[in-house]
Every structure is written in structure tokens, then in C-alpha cells.
Amino acid sequence: MSTDLIGSTMVRRLVCGVAVGFLWGLGASSFAGIPDIGTRRELFLDDAFLVSVRGLEWRMHLPEAREVVLTCDAAWEGNTSAYFTVLEEGGLYRMYYRGSHFDEKSKRTAHPEYVCYAESRDGIRWVKPELGLVEIGGSTSNNVVLKGGEGEKAGEVELAHNFTPFLDTNPSAPKAERFKALAGIRTGLTAYVSGDGVNWRKSSQGAVIRNGAFDSQNLAFWDVDRGEYRAYWRIFTAGVADAVTWKPSGVRTIRTAVSKDFVRWEYSTDLRFRDAPQEQLYTNAVRPYGRAPHVFIGFPTRYQSKTQQVEPVLMSSRDGVEFKRWPEAVIPISAPQDRDGNRSNYMANAMLELPGAPGEISVYATEAYYKGPGSRLRRFVYRADGFVSLRAGEKEGEAVSGHFTMAGGALSVNAKLGAGGALRVELQDAAGRAYPGFSLEDSVPFGGDSVEVKVGWKGGSDVSSLKGKPLRVRWVIQKGDLYSFRFE
């Protein structure tokens, strides 16, 4: 499957023989100072678990444009509908988004902001159900779950602004609070809960997060790998927005915090970016990657102040605070239809494996903002784990990992080799010597294209004899891409 149909890929070349940092350090260990990865999947997003790389390139890949899945053309939606979130639960996909319209003639919003809802069984064909919850124009025949933008209470406008929900997988969460959300009010973010994802109620009086600038898609989720809630929201580098005058200063960027109860948030800190310049970052779209939930993937929106154009970029993290951010847009404004206008190219808060599409990850992005009759949401597709790869050309290159222990019985890889290309693997001990039977000479070359294929040696693919032992992996690649691996 091609992943480069809407633009070029971004390449970062590594100098031959360069040593890179071993910053992995996640999980328990059976040997002091050596991480235990168990059977989890690891992606080649960065150099975090590599100690040396020779003759390879980092290659950032672009998603493939697919179909428009939703047009916001109802009377309570419109051309400034935005900030989409898509969730999946038991085969049902739920979409939430802001229903909003801006009248170009009067230069005013045409109606209050609404929280709209849609459903799908495949993530592609969506239905806007008549929920009967909110009256609009004398009728409740609409797909609105909440209405905002009217009234004041304790000095805070109750907006339910840019409502952003998630399915709470915390095993301690009550059934009546299986869904949670953050929504903007004048002085911060307030918390909502729901038992069915449709009927919502506030779980906090006033804001639970206050230090920031909240005219954006500010989100949270349950971090299953670390056992805590984590939130990401927009701030300004030179101070937060004043709650009365609303005069933020500095550059837009991203802040995060964690919580055990979704009410009290602590350890608030601004994101740090490796080797990336300071840029205006509007939304963040950060979430744990489903196939490797200890890794965070984000699609922050780069904002151009002069033109008010936006474009999403890719970033990743292993601790939720320090991110590797790539400079090239993953969906450029030249991509399919109506992305070059004011704020017309936001990434949705969604990353899904859809039914009938093995080996693919679907993401979504907006288009046609300010264009009539309504803004649109389009689907894009990545290869599974296919955000970044280690790429080899005509000549062989190699990468060597730091030491770890594992608990699997076979090593599987996600790799795509070109004609005449091959991947070979050597498993080494703590001294850098090949374990008997697992040397590079014993390795059976892989030369195909698979998102999950077992690596073999002359004696077979069983590596269970190495469970719990200090292990280092040497990857030797020619004419191909290596995306991820795991010990099954």
C-alpha cells in the first residue's frame, strides 16, 4: 500500500556510525538497569532504543487521502463546524463535533454553538440520529447532545465549547461515567461525564483546568499504560489569557497534566520538542497509539498567523512530555480539496483500525472551513505503524538496539522490502556476541511486504530460549523500510 500519494516524504539522514541515545527505560526489568519490553510492540519513531545506526535514513510517511465521510450541512451545523472526535466501542463508532456557522454577509455567527453527534458501524458511512434532546427551531429532531453559548453563572459563560470526549477505560470508572469529556468555559476547562455517550452531565462546578488558552480542541484520555488520566491543552508561551480581557501573548503551544480522578490535575508542564523550532501550535490531537499504547502519537496543527492557514504535523513521545516533532505537514494545504483557507485543515482527534481494513490506520482531517454549505471531514489512511520508518537504499545499512529483556516466543516485524531487498536480524547477548543459532549468518532473509511477519533463522523462528535474558537486536536492511517489531 502506498503511503505517499498526497506529497513527498520527509527524510532525515543519519551519519554512518553515529551513536544515538538509549533513552528507553520503560517497564519492569529482570536485570538492573535493563528494561523489560515483555511482548509489547515497538515502533521506529525515533532513536530512543537504538545505540547505533549506520547507512539508514529516518523516513516520515504521509497518509493516503480517501473519501469524505461527513458534511456539516444541517441548519444547526454549518461552515465553521469543527473539532471532531471519533471513538469506538464494541463495533460502534461515535463522532462528536462542534455545530457552528458564520454568516459571511453579517460577519456574525448564525446560531449558538451545538455539540453534534453521529454514529457509524464502519467508520466511513455515518448517520446523524434524531436524539430528541435539544430543541432547535421548535423541534428536537436533530443530532445535538448539548447546546452552549448562552447565559452566565458565577462569572463563567457556560459554553460547552469545543466539547471533546473519550471512552474511559479506567477499570475503576463507574458505569455512569464510562464516557468523559473536557469542554471550554470562559476561565478554563470543565468536566462532563456520561454513561451512554449521548446523555451528558457536568461532573465539576466551574473549571478543573484553568491555566491556558482554551479556544481549541483540548482533550484528555485514560492512560492505561501508566494508570492515570492525562490532558493536553493550548497555552501561550508568554503567559495565559487573562480571564477578563482575553489578551494572550507569546506563541501558541501545548501544556499537559495528569490526574487520578479527572478533577484534580497536577504536574502541569509544557511540552518539550526535540530538534524542532518554536512554532504556533493550535490543536494537538495527542492520544496513546492503540497498537502500542505506551507510545503517544500527536498531530498538532501548525498555525500561520499572517494567512491564518493551518496544517497538521506529526509528533511522538514515550513519556507524554518530550516529543519528537517532524517539520513537514502530514496533510499539506495542497491535499484534496479546500484546505488552503482560514483554519481549514485540522486533524480530528481520532486514530482507528476499521473493520475489513487489516493493516491500516484511519485518521481524519477537516476541509472547507468557511465554505458552504458546511465544513467537511475526510478520511486518510496510514499503513499500520507506518508513521515513520528506518529506510535502507541500494547499500546495506544496520541499526543496533540497546539491551532489554523480553517475554515472547517469536520475533515479528512490520517491514516492506523493495525488489532485491532483504531484512536480516541478529540477536546478541550483553557482550554484543550473537546468541548461538541467532547470528546474522543464520538469519533467513525476509524480502516481502507485511505488517506482521515472523523472523526466521536456520533453526526456525522460536526465540523462547532467550526469554528473560539480556538481549540486543541488530537489524541489517537493504532496499526497504522497517516500521516496528515485537516479540509475540
Task: Name which of 7-21, 61-75, 194-208, 337-351 the model is least confident about.
Answer: 7-21
Question: Of 362, 383, 404, which residue is a domain's last?
Answer: 383
**15 and 128 inside one domain:** no
**342 and 399 inside one domain:** no
Is the residue at 5 inside a domain? Answer: no
Q: pLDDT digits over 375-409, tens only?
A: 999 999 999 999 999 999 999 999 999 999 999 99
**181 and 277 inside one domain:** yes
- DSSP tag of 433: P
**407 and 471 inside one domain:** yes
Residues 6 or more apart whose CB falls under 8 angstroms from that of 64 comprise 1, 2, 3, 5, 6, 380, 381, 382
Q: For the chain, what is the mean pLDDT?
A: 90
Look at residue 151 in the predicted model and tell me its pLDDT.
38
- Phi and psi angles of residue 176, each rounded to the nearest 5 degrees, phi first: -75, -5
Strand ranges, E, within 171-270: 179-185, 188-194, 200-202, 219-223, 228-236, 252-259, 265-270
Provide the grid cell at 284: 494537538
Q: pLDDT digits over 71-108, tens only?
A: 999 999 999 999 999 999 999 999 999 999 999 889 89
**119 and 209 inside one domain:** yes
Rounded CA gap, 301 and 16, in Å?
A: 33
> DSSP for 330-361?
SS-TTSSSS-SSTT--PBPB--B--TT-TTEE
CATH number at residue 446: 2.60.120
Is the residue at 3 inside a domain? Answer: no
Is the residue at 418 inside a domain? Answer: yes
Rounded CA gap, 255 and 120, in Å?
A: 32
Is 350 within 8 Å of 363 (Cβ atoms)?
yes
Rounded CA gap, 480 and 55, in Å?
A: 12
Looking at the structure of the chain, the number of domains it has is 2
Taking the CA of residue 281 as centre, how many other CA atoms within 13 Å lie in the half-sphere pointing to its CB?
30
Rounded CA gap, 71 and 300, in Å?
A: 23
Rounded CA gap, 191 and 211, in Å?
A: 15
- DSSP tag of 91: T
Nearest in space to 145 (alpha carbons), one of 157, 128, 120, 122: 128
Is the residue at 158 inside a domain? Answer: yes
Q: pLDDT digits over 422-472, tens only?
A: 999 999 999 999 999 999 999 999 999 999 999 999 999 999 999 999 999
Is the residue at 451 inside a domain? Answer: yes
Question: Of 332, 348, 383, which residue is a domain's last?
Answer: 383
* 274 vs 429, residue with greater confidence: 429
Look at residue 149 in the predicted model and tell me its pLDDT.
60
**270 and 180 inside one domain:** yes
**288 and 337 inside one domain:** yes
Strand ranges, E, within 318-435: 322-325, 360-367, 376-383, 388-392, 397-401, 405-406, 411-428
Is 352 within 8 Å of 123 (Cβ atoms)?
yes
Q: List for the chain the helix, strand, coil content (%; round to 5).
A: 0, 50, 50
Nearest in space to 364 (alpha carbons), one of 426, 299, 319: 299
pLDDT at 3 over 60: no
Tracing cell 531484512 back to the chain, one arrives at 423
Q: Is the pTM of this model over 0.85?
A: yes
Rounded CA gap, 232 and 240, in Å?
A: 15
Angle in degrees, CA 79, 85, 86, rounded to 5:
120
Task: Name which of 147-151, 284-288, 359-363 the model is least confident about.
Answer: 147-151
Query: Region 329-339: what's the mean pLDDT?
Result: 93
pLDDT at 324 over 70: yes
Is 134 within 8 Å of 146 (Cβ atoms)?
yes
Task: Name which of 154-163, 165-174, 297-306, 411-420 the model is least confident about.
Answer: 154-163
**116 and 247 inside one domain:** yes
- Phi and psi angles of residue 37, each rounded to the nearest 5 degrees, phi first: -90, -5
* 326 vs 11, residue with greater confidence: 326
Rounded CA gap, 166 and 221, in Å?
A: 6
Is the residue at 1 inside a domain? Answer: no
Query: Region 309-317: what's the mean pLDDT?
Result: 96
**404 and 363 inside one domain:** no
Is 255 within 8 Å of 212 (Cβ atoms)?
yes
Is 218 within 8 Å of 300 (Cβ atoms)?
no
The type of residue at 157 is V
Question: Of 326, 361, 383, which residue is a domain's last?
Answer: 383
**144 and 29 inside one domain:** no
Supply the range of the domain harboring residue 183.
67-383
End-to-end CA distance of the chain: 24
Provide the grid cell at 143: 443530532
Q: pLDDT digits over 176-223, tens only?
A: 999 999 998 878 999 999 999 999 999 988 899 998 888 889 999 999
CATH number at residue 119: 2.115.10.20
**28 and 168 inside one domain:** no
**269 and 179 inside one domain:** yes
